[in-house]
Structure 1
Amino acid sequence: MPPTDENPIPSVWTRPRRQREQLSREQIVSEAVKLLDAEGIEALSMRRLGTRLGAGATSLYRHVANKDELIELVVDEVYGELEVPDADGPQGWRAAVGGSAYSLRSMALRHPWVASVLGQVGLVHLGPNVMRMSDRMLAVFEAAGFPPEETDQAMSTLVAYVIGMATSEAAYLSLIARSGKDERELMESLRPSAEQAVRDHPRLREGHVAQRGKDPQQLREANFDYGLQRVLDGLEARLGRKDG
C-alpha cells in the first residue's frame, strides 16, 4: 500500500482488515513468531513463511501488504504476553512498575529479535496489545502522582532502559547458544583469556576476581535490577519536584 496524503506511513493498522476463511491473519502471525524465535529476523520472508504455512506468498499478501506490515503484527503479538500489575494507590506504583519492567525484559529475552525492529517499521505503537500495555502503564504512573503531561515521559524512560539492557543481554545469550555450551561452561572456558586481558587493569581485575565462581544468570539479573532500581529512584525523586 503506497503512502498517500491521508495515510503518509504505510501500516497494517491504518487500513481495513481482510477476512479470509482458508488462511487467517492469526495463523500467519503465530507461524511468523515461531520462525523468528527459531531463526531470527534474517530468516523472515514472505516466501519462507508461506512455505511453512503450506501456502504461496500470494496468499499472505491478501492479509499483509509487505514484510514491514508482518513485523508490525508480530511485535504486537508478543507484546500481548506482557503483564502490567495494578498499582495499589501511590504507595504501590514502584512495585507495579518494577513488575512491568521484568515482564518486558522476559518477553524481549524470549523473543530476541524484537528489540532490533522496534521503531524501524510502520506504526507499531498503534497495535492493540502495545496500546493496551501502554495505557495500563500510564495508569500506574498516574496513580503514583505524576502529572498527566509527564506520565508518558516516565514510561518512555523506563521502557528505554529495559529494552536497552535486554538487547545486550539477548545478544549475549545468542552468542552462548551458538557456542553449544551452557552459560557456566562458556564463562569457565573464557576465564583464562579474561584473566590475561585484565592483568594490567587493576579495577577490572578486581571486579573479575569478585565475580569468579558466581552464577552468571544471577549476576545478569542483579545487574538488571541494579539499573532498574536506580531508574525508579530517579522517578521517585521526581515526584517531589513536580514544579520543574
Structure 2
Amino acid sequence: MSAEEKPIASVWTRPQPRQREQLTREQIVAAAIELLDAEGIEALSMRKLGTRLKAAATSLYRHVANKDELIQLAVDDVFGELHMPVSAERGQWRADVTCIATELRAMSLRHRWLAAELGQVGLVHIGPNAMRMAAGLLAQFEVAGFPADERDRAMGTLTAYVIGIAASEAAYLSLIARSGRTEQEWVAGLRPAFDDASHQYQRLREGSSAQQDLPPQQIRDDDFAYGLERVLDGLNSRIGT
C-alpha cells in the first residue's frame, strides 16, 4: 500500500495508554476545554496545557499525537452536552429537531471557539458524540418521511444554518467580551454611529428603530428562531416527494 493509499489515522481508533499513566485522556480533554473556553483557540498549546495540568508536555503526547487531535477530542466532548430525544415520532419531528438545533446553538455559544473549528476538524464526524447527534437527526428526518436520498442533505442544511449563525454570534460576543462592556452597553454605544451612517437609508433606520428598546439577546434569539422556522418550512415541503 502506497503512502497515498494509507487510511487516515484517527484518534478514535488508536488504543489509549494503560491507566497506569499519570494522566488520562479525559483529564487532558477537560483541561483543554477549560483553556479554550477561557482564552480561545489561539491560546491552546501542548506546553501551556501541560503547565495547566502540572505535567510535562511529553506526557500529553502519549494520549494525543498533536494539537489537531486534541481539538478533535475537545469538539466531540462538548457535543456530548447535547440531549437527544429518546425516540423519533412522526408528529413530533419538527419540535424535536427544533430542540436539537436550539441546544446546538446554545452549546456553540457556551464554547465560542467551537463553531469556527468545526469546518477545520477533519475527523470530527466520527467522534462518538457527534455521531450520536447525526444519527439522532437522521432518525428524525426518516420518521418524518423525508426521501432516503435527502436525509443527509436535510441534516446538512439544518446544521449549516445553526453553526453558521452560531459562528457569527460567537465572534460578536467574543468581541464584546474583550471590550469589557455588556452587550446592552455595546449596542447602545454603536447606535449614534449607525444613525449617522444610515441617515440616507430609511428602511435601515426604521428596522433599527423598531428594535431599539428590545434587549439585544432577545433580538438574537428571535432572529435565530425565525430563521430556523423558515429552514424547517423549506425542509417540510420535501416530505413525501
| TM-score (ref. length: structure 2) | 0.94
- The residue that corresponds to 2:187 in the other structure is 187
Q: Which amino acid aligns with 1:102?
A: T
Does the aligned pair in 2 maintain the 1:108–1:170 contact within 8 Å?
yes
Q: Which amino acid aligns with 1:224?
A: F
The runs of 5 or more residues in structure 1 that have no matched partner are: none
Q: Distance in 2 between matches of 1:88 and 1:45?
A: 41
Q: CA-atom RMSD, angstroms?
A: 1.4
Does the aligned pair in 2 maintain the 1:81–1:107 contact within 8 Å?
yes
- Structure 1 residue 185: deviation in Å? 1.3
- Structure 1 residue 40: deviation in Å? 0.3
- The residue that corresponds to 1:146 in the other structure is 146
- Structure 1 residue 95: deviation in Å? 0.1
Does the aligned pair in 1 maintain the 2:141–2:154 contact within 8 Å?
yes
Q: Distance in 2 between matches of 1:138 and 1:110?
A: 25
- The residue that corresponds to 2:14 in the other structure is 15
Q: Distance in 2 between matches of 1:35 and 1:180?
A: 19
- The residue that corresponds to 1:231 in the other structure is 231
- The residue that corresponds to 1:84 in the other structure is 84
- Structure 1 residue 155: deviation in Å? 0.7
Q: Distance in 2 between matches of 1:10 and 1:222?
A: 42
Task: Provide runs of 4+ in structure 1 moved above 4 Å.
Answer: none
Residue 106 of structure 2 corresponds to residue 106 of structure 1:
yes
CA-to-aligned-CA distance 1:160-213 (integer Å, 9 cap, x gap): 000000000111111111111111111112211111111111111111111111
- Structure 1 residue 88: deviation in Å? 5.4
The runs of 5 or more residues in structure 2 that have no matched partner are: none
| 1:1-244 matched pairs, under 5 angstroms | 5-7=5-7, 9-21=8-20, 22-86=22-86, 89-240=89-240, 242=241
CA-to-aligned-CA distance 1:107-146 (integer Å, 9 cap, x gap): 0000011111113134111101111111111111111111
| Structure 1 stretch displaced more, 69-78 or 145-154 | 145-154
- Structure 1 residue 152: deviation in Å? 1.2
Q: Distance in 1 between matches of 2:88 and 2:112?
A: 32
Does the aligned pair in 1 maintain the 2:10–2:123 contact within 8 Å?
yes
